Amino acid sequence: MADEGEFMELLIASERVGEWLDIIKSFTKKNIQHKRCKRAASELSQALIERESYREETRQYDGIKTIKQAIAAVPQADLELISAFTKCLDACSGIETALQVQSYQFGSVEVRQMEASLGCGVGGRVWGGAVLCCAVLERQRALVAGAQVLELGSGTGLCGILAAKLGASRVVLSDCFGGVLMNLDSCAAINHAQKGDCVWEPANETTPPTYKHGVMEVRYLDWGEEGEVVAETIPVGVDTPTWQLGGGEVPTVDVSGLEVPNMPPRLNDNETFHVILASDILYEPQHGVQLANCVRRRLAKGGRAVMYLPIRDQDLFSTFLETATKHGLHACIQSVEKSVWNHQGVRGSCDYEGGFNWVYLEWREIPATDWGMDLKWQQYHSL
């Protein structure tokens, strides 16, 4: 599990390891750059000796396979380059291990998680906010029992997978980045396999991901695209917030170029859910508007959205709430006391501008009949 300081270190390691391995791969493709390959191998081996973060990222990138392929491609007479690659392989000693699977316990329920390379972005890691959200969710099982649940910005899917184990009838785990979705599918699979229903093996070229594991499904969902559909349904004359960058439209994520062999299906246009879950998903300027738009489109009438959000930027949080209320959603919030920013040693960060907050959303005209959570909510009043 990463905190924000560790994440930045890992992000740097991920970028550097990726660059070094790309150079080494160029040798196997006969795009020979002898000096660059030697330098990349030397720098990688030194980093592997000195820093655990570089060993972790090399493992995630399957770097040992790349280095072995490079050694096989080197002419026998090129002893200098063979030596450089061999030293790099020696430095990898001890990292060629099984995929790292971590276990999180919530009451009697265990959820297993596998983190992805930092090349996948923030969604490849388990964050403390998700763990703290699950600690409460396990005690509020009525929220998800028997319900159709959508988790937004799933990442590794900790909250959604827990919802499935707490009795949800269907759980859709969603994200929009190829590498994150591939890892998310693996996380769903290893938890489904615990029941003895299947034997899990990591997806690869011959056994692609299925994106369906018991009641859990993995789906592609881009909040930016959701907002475009919402805009088409808003009556003329209704003022709703927008977010722009440099005077232009918000860029959407183009997944077509990502090296992911089998992307999951998108959500159907008319799919809505009686429960929407999310944790720690507000961190980019455009997220306030986009997240509210997504909830507006995907929350069923009479349903409820429950989110556990650290407030890094109060203005961003306010934009989210104001957009949601203008969409006809009723918003309630509850600040989380610092004394409960802890679960089995996992702590929330006291550095967040607004601390941690629970957010509850329901339709103003057709509210939920049962909130499903025993918390003291305060109504949000738009300024």
Residue among 11, 202, 196 nearest 98 (CA) = 202
302 and 252 within one domain: yes
143 and 213 within one domain: yes
Place of tokens 């000796």: 49
276 falls within a domain: yes
pLDDT of residue 236: 45
298 and 169 within one domain: yes
194 falls within a domain: yes
The tokens describing 26, both together, are 């160029």
Residue among 284, 299, 303 nearest 152 (CA) = 299
pLDDT of residue 74: 73
Phi–psi pair at 128, nearest 5 degrees: -55, -35
The one-letter code for the residue type at 14 is: S
pTM listed for this prediction: 0.71
pLDDT of residue 195: 56
108 and 36 within one domain: no
Place of tokens 């007479």: 77
300 and 194 within one domain: yes
The Cα 128–Cα 49 span in angstroms is 29
28 falls within a domain: yes
Cβ atoms of residues 210 and 173 within 8 Å = no
112 and 57 within one domain: no
Q: How many domains does the chain have?
A: 2
295 falls within a domain: yes
How many Cα atoms within 13 Å fall on the side-chain side of residue 34? 8
Domain span at residue 75?
4-91
- Domain boundary among the residues 53, 71, 91 is at 91
Task: State the 10-residue block means of pLDDT for the chain, 383 residues long.
Answer: 65 85 76 77 85 79 81 72 77 58 92 78 83 91 96 96 98 91 90 62 59 95 81 52 40 39 84 96 91 97 94 92 96 76 52 80 89 61 44
129 and 81 within one domain: no
How far, in whole angstroms, is CA 348 from its chain's centroid?
A: 18
97 falls within a domain: no
